[in-house]
Structure 1
Amino acid sequence: MSVQGTILVLDGTSTNRIMLKVQLTAAWYHVVQGERLQGLAGLLRRAKPDLVLTSQALPDGTAVDVKRLVQADPDLIGVPVVAIAPQNDKAARLQALADGLDDVLVHPFKDTFLLARVRSLLRARAEAQDLHVESSSHPMGFAEPGAASFMPPKAARVTILTQAARTGALWQNALSKRTRHSLSVYTSTNLQGVLSGPVPDAIIFEVSANSSGLNLLADLKSRGTTRHTVLIGIFAEENAALASEALDRGADAVCLDGFCAEEALLRLESQIKRKTQLDQMRASLRRGLVDSWVDPLTGLHNRRYAMRAMDQIAHQSTRTGKGFAVMLADLDHFKTINDKFGHISGDLVLIKAAKRLKQTLGAAGFIARIGGEEFMIGLSETTQANALKLARSLCDCIREKPFDLPDSAVTIPVTISIGLIATQPDGRSSSQQPAELERLIKSADTALYAAKTAGRNQVRVRQSAA
């Protein structure tokens, strides 16, 4: 049997636990059972559940106590806790949401709805876990990432989508009295109006028996702009089958008993908080990806990027039959600049030199800082003559104008030496392997050394066979 996840079921009544176990086991979930708060901390450590379903009232505690114990375990942060409330007890359902439970199921519930909600919560849990792992990853040698801290959610843009404009106006009026969020109203047929403005953080949409709201849900989930928008479905009547389909199509939450401003807002606040955390994790991941390729001082690419880029240029050269070039450049007498003017001034020279080199290079290739004052330049689809011409322009852009220091009349004359190697595939075989990068880079380094030995402030070319 393939186990899809571990679910902890907590209920003081054995028949309730057995019924849930039968429903969940049939869907290939591993079910762990408990009946009280006592001993729960140890059970949580042993079972490490992906989801907790708990009766709202246990013999020695409440669902809120369960949520608190789950959150206290660092290994279980983000595990959803769902309360099971008594039938026809709307106040209990709203209280559970107000207490911070991730959702509330009300007895009796159909298998299809239970399993759809479980799948939805486990998908959300998996997404958060993936983002946490990826945003916490870092290259070896970098500082360990600190503990995640999330900014509280700001006022959100919330769109109300209803079939009739009058219904939307009534919902907006009821919600606006209770929320700080910005509300806008559209009819379901005016999706263009929703998408033409700023992307909403959340959409509360009406679903009627004709299931038109589900088509709208699928449309919103398929669009890149609204893929991460919170989607909350309001069902005119308790239709478990329709609600189950909505959850499987990507709804973040559903309200089954028609529109209730209090429930809608409780679910909205919970989902906006979750979205804020996920958005911050995505932003952290994007920053980490950028940082892994960028030199923090100069803003140029780093050695890691340079080696990957050169590998791609070499493969491209094999496919196209056109040549490419590698340059290694080194600022002359840079240690003297640091010794005479200080490391802060040396850093400023590096930053300004990098800017000049990048501007002169333009779109002709890439430039990366690969060492203290050393740079690598890669050019695709070029000849030795063109690469040499560009290398001389790079020397000129550094030499022709001394570098200014802030709050000082002193200027620092700087020059640069460049070693160049260009290669040209012979074109005899389309399956020809790319040139060995290490050999080419070593050749460029030999040419750089020759430029230094010959007096610096010049370009030297290392000849390469096809």
Structure 2
Amino acid sequence: MPARILVVDDIFPNVKLLETKLTAEYFDVVTAMNGPDAIEICEQGLCDIVLLDVMMPGIDGFEVCRRLKASPTTAHLPVVMVTALDQPSDRLKGLDVGADDFLTKPVDDTALMARVRSLVRLKSVTDELRTRALASRDYGIGDPLLAATAETGQNASILIVDDRASSHERLQSALSPFHAVQVETDPNHALLRVTEASFDLVIVNLDLQGYDGLRLCSQIRSLERTRHVAVLMIAEAEDRTRILRGLDIGVHDFLVRPVDRNELVARVRTQVRRKRFGERLRESVQASLELAVTDALTGLHNRRYLDSHLSALFDEASMRGRQLSVLVLDVDRFKSVNDTWGHDAGDEVLREFATRVRANTRGIDVVARFGGEEIVVVMPDTALDGGQLVAERIRERVECEPFAIHRGTRTLNVTVSIGVAARQANDQNAGEVLKRADEALYRAKSDGRNRVVAAAA
């Protein structure tokens, strides 16, 4: 897949070697010979993944990675450290500062390319989420990137799928001080447990007795309910083919035996952070979508939502020959509430009015604030007489109990007028039904308010 790789190394031959290999695999390559230049390139959004040397003058690779992962602008960038350092302490330090992987030179070309492709795929998903989530700032719900970057990767819910007691006991012992860890020894039950619970991470032993661990990984990654769960596989060092295959099908990370306790903790933390980063972005996108179609004061749908859904419901009812009713409700003398008691009191009345309307309608009904003190209710599969019954129930519910204002220190008697109309066979569009309901509302106002009037069939 097309992607731009940033190669960072202060030794020119090393840069050219990696550039040649990556270009041969159809990646675009940009280069930097020092830490500050690398950070600047990343901040400008000019790369998709960073291959980073550790030993550089000035700012070393560890510090570059730490800065990238600490910044909301660049925290989503995958970083792979490629270095001659080969001590476990070096690998752990790289993972601790946020690196997604730590590869020791000389690097196996096949393994490097598999890792790069895997991380590029993950980043492409994150990029789409980031773009959508950034739009949520326009709705005043905060900076989603700042919140996502603050994630610590601790206190995760983890499932270990491993039928070897000696193996899963060591894994559980290492992770339990930081996370809530469960073990499943029967791989046939593992997928069911993952779909039923909300795990942040699943660790799968590829060497399950009589069962293909890669198949379980693939199923977790493909099901709608579990596709966002992070997956970490554990394999034997010589099982290179299956490790590469796992990365190809979407497994997020791997460890080879013997498993280093500290590296396990660090890799789990990294994957949990990345998983929750994506969750925060998805939550931000969902919140912005809800705000786009929700009235901020009442919590009902807004006019934009009503316009699109009324037409869709009308078209479906017309096509299937089904009933459809529309109610237009208006609080009586609402202007006097604002003039006498203030706009804060008016807002309290509208919120309570919306609550009572919603409580007396069905889940399939569309209830939307039409503007000002007007609410429109669209009722699928409901004839005119059924619409009248619901309207009368709402009218009574509004009239029967005074509305609290000024934070409950006072109450007001409030009434509502309601116009009702139903789809007719000769109606050409939803606007005709809405217009008749609005005209019926006008008659209810003219006839003395606090009443329900149905449009003539």
TM-score tier (shorter): 0.7 to 0.9
Take 2:418 and 2:159, find their aligned partners in 1: how far apart are those partners? Answer: 58
Deviation of 1:333 after TM superposition, in Å, equals: 0.4
Residue 333 to residue 196, structure 1, CA distance change in 2 (3 Å): closer
The corresponding residue for 2:146 is 149
Find the partner of 2:100 among 99, 102, 105: 102
Q: Retained in 1: the 8 A contact 2:72–2:145?
A: no
Deviation of 1:166 after TM superposition, in Å, equals: 2.3
* Unmatched segments (≥5 aa) in structure 1: 427-433
Residue 294 to residue 201, structure 1, CA distance change in 2 (3 Å): same
Take 2:313 and 2:277, find their aligned partners in 1: how far apart are those partners? Answer: 39
Q: TM-score, normalised by structure 2?
A: 0.87
Q: Retained in 2: the 8 A contact 1:112–1:240?
A: no
Residue 17 to residue 47, structure 1, CA distance change in 2 (3 Å): farther
Deviation of 1:83 after TM superposition, in Å, equals: 0.7
The corresponding residue for 2:373 is 373
Percent sequence identity is: 29
Take 1:17 and 1:211, find their aligned partners in 2: how far apart are those partners? Answer: 43
- Stretch of structure 1 that moved more, 197-206 or 213-222: 197-206
Residue 167 (str. 1) matches residue 164 (str. 2): no
Residue 448 (str. 1) matches residue 441 (str. 2): yes
The corresponding residue for 2:428 is 435
Q: SS where residue 256 of structure 1 aligns?
A: strand
Find the partner of 1:91 among 86, 89, 93: 89
Deviation of 1:188 after TM superposition, in Å, equals: 5.1
Q: TM-score, normalised by structure 1?
A: 0.85
Q: Retained in 2: the 8 A contact 1:156–1:202?
A: yes
Residue 409 to residue 25, structure 1, CA distance change in 2 (3 Å): closer
Take 1:170 and 1:69, find their aligned partners in 2: how far apart are those partners? Answer: 33
- Stretch of structure 1 that moved more, 404-413 or 254-263: 404-413
Residue 122 to residue 166, structure 1, CA distance change in 2 (3 Å): same
Residue 83 to residue 391, structure 1, CA distance change in 2 (3 Å): same
Q: SS where residue 356 of structure 1 aligns?
A: helix
What letter corresponds to residue 53 of structure 2 in structure 1?
S
The corresponding residue for 2:287 is 287
What letter corresponds to residue 305 of structure 2 in structure 1?
Y
The corresponding residue for 2:267 is 267
The corresponding residue for 1:204 is 203
Q: Retained in 1: the 8 A contact 2:66–2:97?
A: no
Take 1:75 and 1:268, find their aligned partners in 2: how far apart are those partners? Answer: 23
Take 2:82 and 2:409, find their aligned partners in 1: how far apart are those partners? Answer: 75
Deviation of 1:313 after TM superposition, in Å, equals: 1.2
Deviation of 1:358 after TM superposition, in Å, equals: 2.4
RMSD (Å), alpha carbons? 3.1
- Stretch of structure 1 that moved more, 248-257 or 454-463: 454-463
Q: SS where residue 296 of structure 1 aligns?
A: coil
Take 1:412 and 1:380, find their aligned partners in 2: how far apart are those partners? Answer: 33
Take 1:36 and 1:167, find their aligned partners in 2: how far apart are those partners? Answer: 42
The corresponding residue for 1:19 is 17
The corresponding residue for 1:245 is 245
The corresponding residue for 1:8 is 6
Take 2:277 and 2:225, find their aligned partners in 1: how far apart are those partners? Answer: 18
- Number of equivalent positions: 452
Residue 195 to residue 86, structure 1, CA distance change in 2 (3 Å): same
Please list, as runs of the form range in 1=range in 2, the aligned pairs for 1:55-454 lying within 5 A after superposition.
55-68=53-66, 70=68, 76-86=74-84, 88-138=86-136, 142-143=139-140, 145-146=142-143, 148-150=145-147, 152-153=151-152, 154-176=154-176, 179-187=177-185, 189=187, 191-192=189-190, 194-195=193-194, 198-208=197-207, 212-362=212-362, 365-405=365-405, 411-425=411-425, 435-454=428-447
Residue 197 to residue 367, structure 1, CA distance change in 2 (3 Å): closer
- Stretch of structure 1 that moved more, 149-158 or 248-257: 149-158
Take 1:257 and 1:360, find their aligned partners in 2: how far apart are those partners? Answer: 61
Take 2:18 and 2:238, find their aligned partners in 1: how far apart are those partners? Answer: 21
Take 1:166 and 1:355, find their aligned partners in 2: how far apart are those partners? Answer: 57
What letter corresponds to residue 130 of structure 1 in structure 2?
E
Residue 394 to residue 90, structure 1, CA distance change in 2 (3 Å): closer
Take 1:222 and 1:228, find their aligned partners in 2: how far apart are those partners? Answer: 9
Deviation of 1:364 after TM superposition, in Å, equals: 7.1
- Superposed CA deviations along residues 239-264 of structure 1, whole A, max 9, x for unmatched, are 43222111122221112353111111
Q: Retained in 2: the 8 A contact 1:235–1:259?
A: no
Deviation of 1:143 after TM superposition, in Å, equals: 4.4
